[in-house]
Amino acid sequence: MRIVVLASGRGSNLRALLDAEQAGQLGGAHVAAVFSDRAASGALAIAHAAGRDAVALAPAHFPSRPAFDAALFDHVLAAAPDLIVCAGYMRVLCADAVARARGRMINIHPSLLPLYPGLKPHARALAAGDAEHGASVHRVVPEVDAGAVLSQVRVPILPGDDADTLAARLLPREHALLVTTVRAVAEGQLTLGPDALAWRGNPLHAPLSLKGDDRLEEAAG
């Protein structure tokens, strides 16, 4: 399975995927290329260091968001991806770009969707007084963080937490969730059909849950 990653920031989820690939823990999947909207992103530096194709396109060089997305996905699709992973990609993709991906694109978001789509999910979970927080891997649709959720991981919110401590506690579990979910797709356990998701051949009606031993399990009931 060929994976293309879209990333804007430091690239920690990309590094987790590359580390898992190197360790033989990504189900035979290969990160083929990385694309970013920021030339100075840490993700591109990580990709270059790993010897992967890495390209940045500047949105300011295009007359509109659809024009930028069209150029970006010309590059993405030229890399012949089986799966496109948005891993800290901070731009909302237009409907035409999503359609060109044909159901092959997923995103990881640091909240228990549908709670707290968009920005500052850690602070919003704390402000709501939640007892737990987490991360979700979901299909990409044109609406922000609104696609069907494939898998989730949960962490407790502890007394005295602020957004930074909560984010730091979640991050390693977020990495594990992305790696385990991508491996499940690569191994054919989790399938992303054009209209429906399936887990081990059966329709997936609720997000899979990542357990402490990094196994994905179906929701109870």
Joined together, the tokens standing for residue 9 give 């920031």
Q: Note if 30 is an active site residue.
A: no
The full 3-state SS of 104-172, as one line of letters, equals CEEEEECCCCCCCCCCCHHHHHHHCCCCEEEEEEEECCCCCCCCCEEEEEEEECCCCCCHHHHHHHHHH
Out of 48, 61, 75, 109, the active site residue is 109
Residues 6+ apart with CB under 8 A from 88: 7, 8, 9, 10, 11, 12, 13, 14, 43, 108
> How far is the C-alpha of 102 from the C-alpha of 44, rounded, in Å?
25
Please give the helix or strand (H or E) that residue 214 lies within, else none.
none
Instruction: Give backbone dihedrals phi and psi of 55, rounded to 5 degrees, phi first.
Output: -135, 135
- From the centroid of its chain, how far is CA 191? 16
Give the number of other CB atoms < 10 A from CB of residue 132: 10
- Which residues form the catalytic set? 109
